[in-house]
Amino acid sequence: MFDFVSHLAFGLGVALTPTNVALCFVGCLLGTLVGVLPGVGPIATIAILLPITFGLEPVSALIMLSGIYYGAQYGGSTSSILLNIPGESSAVVTALDGHQMARQGRAGVALGIAAIGSFFAGTVATVVIAALAGPLTEVALVFGPAEYFSLMVMGLAFAVVLARGSIVKAIAMILVGILLSTIGPDLTTGQNRLTFGFAWLSDGIEIAVLGMGLFGIAEVFRNLESVERREVVQGTIGRLLPGAEEFRQSAKPILRGTLLGGVLGILPGNGAVLGPFASYTLEKKLADDPDRFGRGAIEGVAGPESANNAGAQTSFIPLLTLGIPPNAVMALMVGAMTLHGIVPGPQVMTKMPELFWGLIASMWIGNLMLLVINLPLIGLWVRLLKVPYRVMFVGIVLFCCIGVYSLNREIVDIVILMVLALVGYTLVKFDFEPAPLTLGFVLGKMMEESLRQALIISRGSMMTFVERPVSAALLIAAVLMLAVAIVPKIRQGRDVVFVE
């Protein structure tokens, strides 16, 4: 227990230097600035802003990135509440009641309770991460390559179950992601694979470019299809601070949301995305009169927003302890860490304690930053949202171009971005989801490595994956989850969750 307090204090010491606080602040601000743009979710935001952290020390860069991450999350909620245009799937739920509240002139309260709920959830999640990180890292250290491989298989199976629409298409997307990750030199022999003799493919594809193309620009293409019918909530935003009655109504939903989101977020394979849906459904079930939901019930904002933020934060756990990103956003974080020469995994905590605890402490600071600095800036974001899309998308495209160019100062990267954007647009047209592809892309390289190592250790016997108990359990869990997803009855239930 004392251990854990001293670790947190140590982390706060690292994160609270003036430079790091300033960077966290700038990160939060820029993250919100880009994240608030309609149709730009956290993935695209992080991808766009990733290059600006390049010149920094690793610790500072990660602190700034987590600021960007929370800013992007919060920006997404802002555009869902004010515009009814959610930037990502988990913000869809917030839009339901949040936008109704905004239309009733309670936009300020909706934004306020979202920020307060998120802050509470963030605080709890930070403590959970700090408490769990140590023990989980020890577990991770006894994991061999076989266990790692099976764990990643389970994560991908979970991602398939959680993807919307066709299961076959989700599996195909994951496999395409893995295949794309193999482009470039083979790790042991150094032979180039699938580069077709092009020098610019010999380093493989950058995860940030992939994220920007598939999520940023492809979304622009989609939004350009329809003539814009966007109504920014007219009139006043109203007071930001919820009243005593509203606090009383939201207290329990925030608590329950935090718990639900936090637990789901730890699961590998993007469990965090379930949090808001689960919380909304739960609050609706528990409410005295469920009819209010969808008509501006504050519980419908407080619960899901807390769940969203708790999950967003606990999804750092698999990344920090095992080095396995559970979703596309964390996948980008891995990309960022690798660029700064950090290989995420259990060794980070022991070898670079200042980075590890500094990052955890800065998560809490990032959340606080959102509450005390971003909320008062709400007027600025509202004004930004009034910029018509016909102008805004031009800015989004330019930011993506600058972002990609600053990655390596390679012109060809912009061309790759263009191709990936067209691919992303095509995928959407054929009802494929790009998120599993991104996850497969990041896990692909790690999976190949652990598969190779596991088979070297077992002298080529595939049985090693089922003979080792932990690995076998993980694989069974994966198979069970896939089986569950295919059984028609439960599938209907899954669709209902996403429709709601």
* Site residues, another protein (CB under 8 A): 51-52, 54-55, 166, 168-169, 171-172, 175-176, 178-179, 182, 186, 188-189, 191, 193-194, 196, 217, 220-221, 224-225, 227-228, 388-391, 393-395, 397-398, 401-402, 405-406, 409, 411-412, 414-415, 417-418, 421-422, 425, 429-432, 444, 447-448, 451-452, 455-456, 459-462
C-alpha 477: how far from its chain's center? 23
Least gap, CB of 402 to another protein (angstroms): 6
Question: Which of 357/389 has CB closer to another protein?
Answer: 389
The residue with tokens 């960022």 is 336
Question: Which of 278/420 has CB closer to another protein?
Answer: 420
Question: Which of 322/446 has CB closer to another protein?
Answer: 446
Strand partners, 447: none
Provide CB contacts within 8 A for 40, sequence distance 6+: 34, 48, 87, 216, 219, 396
Question: Which of 356/425 has CB closer to another protein?
Answer: 425
Q: Does residue 141 contact residue 397 with C-beta atoms inside 8 Å? A: no
Dihedral sign of CA atoms 229, 497, 428, 159 in order: positive
The residue with tokens 């966007």 is 230
Least gap, CB of 371 to another protein (angstroms): 25
Question: Which of 2/196 has CB closer to another protein?
Answer: 196
Dihedral sign of CA atoms 132, 92, 337, 12 in order: negative
* Side-chain half-sphere CA neighbours of 337 within 13 A: 23
Question: Which of 188/234 has CB closer to another protein?
Answer: 188
H-helix or E-strand spanning residue 192 = strand 192-193
* Side-chain half-sphere CA neighbours of 72 within 13 A: 26
Least gap, CB of 104 to another protein (angstroms): 30
Least gap, CB of 166 to another protein (angstroms): 8
Least gap, CB of 179 to another protein (angstroms): 5
Q: Residue 84: helix, strand or coil by DSSP?
A: coil
Question: Which of 50/370 has CB closer to another protein?
Answer: 50
Least gap, CB of 157 to another protein (angstroms): 14
How far is residue 324's CA from residue 268's CA, in Å, rounded to a whole number? Answer: 8
The two structure tokens encoding residue 426: 């095509």
Question: Which of 112/403 has CB closer to another protein?
Answer: 403
Least gap, CB of 493 to another protein (angstroms): 20
Least gap, CB of 491 to another protein (angstroms): 14
Q: How many CB atoms lie within 10 A of CB 238?
A: 17
> In 3D, which of 213, 225, 226 has the Cα closest to residue 424?
213
Question: Which of 381/432 has CB closer to another protein?
Answer: 432
Question: Which of 260/454 has CB closer to another protein?
Answer: 454
> In 3D, which of 215, 213, 170 has the Cα closest to residue 430?
170
Least gap, CB of 174 to another protein (angstroms): 9
Least gap, CB of 96 to another protein (angstroms): 25
> In 3D, which of 264, 269, 218 has the Cα closest to residue 436?
269
Torsion from C-alpha of 273, 274, 278, 281, nearest 10 degrees: 80
Q: At what angle do helices 411-429 and 218-225 cross, to 10 degrees?
A: 50
